[in-house]
């Protein structure tokens, strides 16, 4: 059985084909134009991940919100739960880009960090 995955590592958007056996195990990977595409496609099949970018409330800055991101991708299934968590957070300015807002966010090993100075 074949599974088709569009690689989203870069704007090239390769159509990667995974050849799967009856148990869903990967036999071969084709269609990727670089090694990152292979890694991504395998990961996307076994344990898909996404980087979360959103905002948290901020006080004392020039804007009422601070844009934040996870510093590495987190399991895709956690995105909506993660949004509920970030909705509870309020930070105080001044904040610098890269400042850790939440360490080990939702036990994913990723930190939630500030995206800009505020």
- Site residues for another protein per CB under 8 A: 6-8, 10-11, 13, 50-51, 53-55, 57, 62-65, 67, 69, 76, 79-80, 83, 97, 115-117
Residue among 30 and 51 whose Cβ is closer to another protein:
51
* Rounded least distance, CB 97 to another protein, Å: 5
* Rounded least distance, CB 14 to another protein, Å: 9
Contact criterion met (CB below 8 Å) for 52 and 79: yes
* Rounded least distance, CB 7 to another protein, Å: 8
Residue among 29 and 86 whose Cβ is closer to another protein:
86
Nearest of 56, 52, 44 to residue 81 by alpha carbon: 52
Q: Where are the beta strands (DSSP E) in the chain?
A: 2-6, 15-20, 26-30, 49-50, 53-59, 65-70, 74-75, 90-92, 100-102, 112-114
């Amino acid at each position: 059985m074949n599974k088709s995955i569009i690689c989203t590592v870069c704007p090239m958007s390769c159509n990667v084909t995974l050849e799967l056996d009856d148990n869903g195990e990967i036999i071969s990977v084709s269609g990727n134009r670089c090694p990152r595409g292979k890694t991504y496609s395998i990961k996307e099949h076994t344990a898909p991940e996404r980087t979360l970018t959103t905002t948290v409330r901020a006080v004392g800055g020039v804007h009422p919100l601070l844009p934040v991101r996870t510093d590495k991708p987190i399991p895709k299934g956690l995105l909506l739960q993660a949004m509920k968590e970030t909705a509870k957070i309020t930070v105080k300015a001044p904040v610098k880009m890269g400042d850790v807002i939440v360490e080990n966010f939702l036990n994913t090993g990723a930190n939630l960090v500030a995206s800009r100075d505020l």
